[in-house]
Structure 1
C-alpha cells in the first residue's frame, strides 16, 4: 500500500461520494418534484445533504471559532490568533484577547498529533481563556509539507516541544493531552539537563500512555499483536500529486478515520440515519449537535509515517519512556533529573484508550522529584474525551488543574489566594 495510487484511490472515493451527495441533493430538490407526494424525494434530498457534508468535512481543517471573549469589564473583546513560533511541521500559537490585561497564568496546551487537528481542544482552550494566557501546539497536515522539509519522528516532536517551552520561558504551565504526555515528560526532562532555566513551572499530563503496559487496552493489545513490517505495509502510503507533500510517506487521515469509525460502527451508523431523518423533518441545523460533533470528528489529517511508526515501536512496543531509556538526538533522557517542576497526572476511570495506571506511571519515573511536587487524580465515571473537554473537565478537573498551577507558580501562595474563586 506504500504507493501514491492507493492514496489517490482513497481520495477519489471520498471525492466521488461527496459528488454523489451533492448530485442527489440537487436532483431531489428540483421544484417539479414538489408536486409528487412520494416521500422518496425528501429522503433523497436529506441523504444527499448529509452525505455531501460528511465527505466534504474530511479534507477541511476546522476553524477555531473563538472570535470574541467577554471579560470582567462586561465587554466583548476580540480574540486574535497569533503565531509565536513557526515551524514546518507545527506552530506555537497564542490566543491573544485584545484589550485585556495579561493574565497571571501562562498555559501551554500540547495537542496530540493523532489524526485530528488541534481544534479538537477548542472547548479546552475556551475554558482556560477565562483566566489564562493560552498557547497551543498547532500541528500541520503532513500532506501539505514538502518532502524537502525532511522527516518528523518522535525525537523531532520532543525537540519541537523543547523549543516551544524555551520560547515561553520558565513561568509556563504545560498541559499535555493524551498522546503527547510521555513525550512532553521527556521534553521536560531534556530541559532539566540541558537548559534548567527554561523548565516550566508545572506539568499536567492528561490521559497519556506513559506506560502502556500498566493497564492494557485494545489499543495496547493491537500494538503488541502487529509487527512493524505489517504496520508499514498496511498503514503507510505516499501522498499523491494533488498536495504539496507529494511523495511523502504518511499514515493517511482517511485511513485513520476508517479505523476510528470501525471501532463504534453501529453507533456511528445510527447517528447518520437519525440525522437524515432530522433533515427530512426540517429539524436539523448547520450547528446542531450532530454537525458540531462530526464536523470536528471527520476532519482528519495525515500523520508523518516516521512519527506514527516510531510512536508504536518506541513508546508502545519497546516502552522506552516507561523504562526511562528514551534517547533524543543521541542524548539519553533521564526522567529523574526533573527535580523542581511540579507534575500532576489526570486519568478517567472509564478511559478505554489510555486506561488508569498508564499516565500516573509518570510520577514513579520522577524519582528526583519530592512528593510535595507530585499529584494525581482519577475522575470517576469519565471517559477519554471527558477528562479534557467534557463535563468532567469543566466541573471537576479544570478547577483542580488551576489550583495546581497556582500552588506551583512563582510566588505560588500569594497567587493562589488571589485566584481562589477564579477557577
Structure 2
C-alpha cells in the first residue's frame, strides 16, 4: 500500500486540472458576459478549452479510427478489427478489409510497450493496409489488469511474440518498431531453435535498442546513471482503488508522460501557448494539427513494473541482447541460430531516442545468416517518429520495406500458375545489403 496514495494523488491532480479547465471554459463563455467584450475572458475560455481537452486525453485510450478503406475498385470497404488472440496483457488484432481479396503479404506489426498505446502506429497501419494483411500487437493498460493475471516482464513479452508468430504462420513478415526490436529478434531466434517451421519470412527492425552502447543518447545515459534501487523507489507505484488492477506495481503513465514532455519542454510549452492563442482567435478546430498530435501523445498507459525494470536492467544495463546472453523461460537464446529469416534494420540519421548504430547491431548478432539475407537503411534527416509514421516512412522507407518483403517471401502462394517442384534460389534482401 506504500505507493497507492501517490498514484491516487497523481490521478487526483489530473482530474482536478481537467475540472479547472472545464470550469474556466464554461464560466468565461457565460452568455451574459458577451454584453461586455473583454479579451481576458476570451483567453480564459481558450485556456480552459485546451486544458480540459489535454488532461482528459491522459486517461482515455484512443480509438483506432480506421472504419473504412478505399480499395482499387474505387469503393469504400468496411474495416473489421478483430482480436485473433486474446491474452491478459495484450491481444493480436487483425485489420480485415471486408469484401477485399486476401492480400499476398501478411504483416505482424509489433507495437512498443513504452507508455503509449498501439494506436500511435495508426498511420503505419493505414499505409500497410494498402497491399498487406495487417496484424498488430495491442498491449493493455497495466492498471486494468488484475493482480491475479500474474507478472509480465521482457521474457513474457518475448513469449507473447512467439505465440503470435506461431498463430500467424511461417508466411508472416514481422515489422518491429522501437522498444520491441531486441525482443522481436529474440523471439525469432527462440523459434529458430524451438519451432523452426514457425519462423517468419522476414524481420524488419525499426529504430530499436539492440545495442544501446553503440551510440549514446539521453535514454541510454539515464539508464547508466541511475541504479535499479533508485528506479524502483522513484518510478514504481501501486495502482489505486479506482481501477481493476488495484495493488499492481506499475510505472504510471502520468509519470512517463512527465518524462516525455521534459525531454522537449520548451517545444511543448510553445505548442500549447500557440494553441491557446488560436483558440482565443477562433482559429482552432477539433481535428487541427495540434489536437491530432496531442490527442495521441497525451494518451498514456501504465507499464507493468517488472517489464519496465527488466527492460532497463537486461536490455540497457547488462546488455544481454547485445552480448547474445539473453534467456527466455530458462532457455538461452542464440542469435546465430537464425539462418533462414531475412533481417533488415532501419534507422533515422537524426534519431535522438535510438541513435544510428543501436539497431544495426542486430545484423552482427546474426552470425549464422548469409549476407544476402541481411540489409540496412539509414534515412537521412529523419528523427525517431519519422522512420515509422512520418513523411520519411511514407515516401522512402515503406517502399523499401515492401520490396524487402517481396524479395524474401519463401512461403508466398503462386499466382495462378501450375505448381512446380523446382527449387528456386531466394533473391538478395535488397541492393543495400550489409557486408
> 2:296 is matched with which residue?
296
Q: Distance in 2 between matches of 1:383 and 1:157?
A: 26
Q: Secondary structure at the match of 2:175?
A: strand
**1:30-75 deviation line (CA, Å, top 9, x unaligned):** 1010111221111111110000000000000000011100001110
> 1:36 is matched with which residue?
36
Q: Distance in 2 between matches of 1:215 and 1:160?
A: 29
> 2:335 is matched with which residue?
335
1:47-58 matches, cutoff 5 A: 47-58=47-58
Q: Distance in 1 between matches of 2:213 and 2:410?
A: 36
Query: Displacement, 1:410?
Result: 2.4
Q: Distance in 2 between matches of 1:87 and 1:58?
A: 24
> 1:269 is matched with which residue?
269
Query: Displacement, 1:414?
Result: 7.8
Q: Distance in 1 between matches of 2:393 and 2:347?
A: 11
> 1:395 is matched with which residue?
395
**Mapped contact 2:170–2:411 kept (Cα < 8 A):** no
The structure 1 segments of at least 4 consecutive aligned residues displaced by more than 3 Å after TM superposition are 411-417
Q: Distance in 2 between matches of 1:261 and 1:246?
A: 27
Query: Displacement, 1:411?
Result: 6.3
1:78-157 matches, cutoff 5 A: 78-157=78-157
> 2:207 is matched with which residue?
207
Q: 1:40 to 1:306 in 2, by over 3 A?
A: same
Q: Secondary structure at the match of 2:246?
A: coil
> 1:255 is matched with which residue?
255
> 2:379 is matched with which residue?
379
**Mapped contact 2:171–2:412 kept (Cα < 8 A):** no
Q: Secondary structure at the match of 1:355?
A: coil
**Mapped contact 2:95–2:133 kept (Cα < 8 A):** yes
How many residues matched? 417
Q: 1:411 to 1:153 in 2, by over 3 A?
A: closer
**Mapped contact 1:406–1:413 kept (Cα < 8 A):** no
Q: Distance in 1 between matches of 2:263 and 2:380?
A: 23
**Mapped contact 1:407–1:413 kept (Cα < 8 A):** no
Q: Distance in 2 between matches of 1:412 and 1:237?
A: 47
**Mapped contact 1:145–1:244 kept (Cα < 8 A):** yes
> 1:19 is matched with which residue?
19
**1:152-206 deviation line (CA, Å, top 9, x unaligned):** 0000000000000000000000000000000000000000000000000000000
Q: Distance in 2 between matches of 1:351 and 1:198?
A: 33
**Mapped contact 1:2–1:236 kept (Cα < 8 A):** no
> 1:184 is matched with which residue?
184
Q: 1:2 to 1:270 in 2, by over 3 A?
A: farther
Q: 1:399 to 1:2 in 2, by over 3 A?
A: farther
> 1:237 is matched with which residue?
237
> 2:345 is matched with which residue?
345
**Mapped contact 2:104–2:413 kept (Cα < 8 A):** no
> 1:68 is matched with which residue?
68
Moved more, 2-11 or 179-188: 2-11
Q: Distance in 2 between matches of 1:10 and 1:381?
A: 37
Q: Distance in 2 between matches of 1:110 and 1:412?
A: 21
Q: 1:411 to 1:183 in 2, by over 3 A?
A: closer
> 2:430 is matched with which residue?
none
Q: Distance in 2 between matches of 1:162 and 1:411?
A: 18
Q: Distance in 1 between matches of 2:349 and 2:58?
A: 31
Q: Distance in 1 between matches of 2:40 and 2:267?
A: 25
Q: Secondary structure at the match of 2:156?
A: helix
**1:100-139 deviation line (CA, Å, top 9, x unaligned):** 0000000000000000000000000000000000000000
> 1:170 is matched with which residue?
170
Give structure 1 stretches of 5+ with no counterpart. 418-423
**1:337-395 deviation line (CA, Å, top 9, x unaligned):** 00000000000000010000000000000000000100000000000000000000000
Q: Secondary structure at the match of 1:388?
A: helix
> 2:161 is matched with which residue?
161
**Mapped contact 2:162–2:187 kept (Cα < 8 A):** yes
- Name the TM-score, length of structure 2 as normaliser: 0.94
Q: Distance in 2 between matches of 1:128 and 1:299?
A: 23
Q: Secondary structure at the match of 1:213?
A: helix
Q: Secondary structure at the match of 2:152?
A: coil
- Name the TM-score, length of structure 1 as normaliser: 0.97
Q: Distance in 2 between matches of 1:130 and 1:2?
A: 50
Give structure 2 stretches of 5+ with no counterpart. 416-425, 428-435
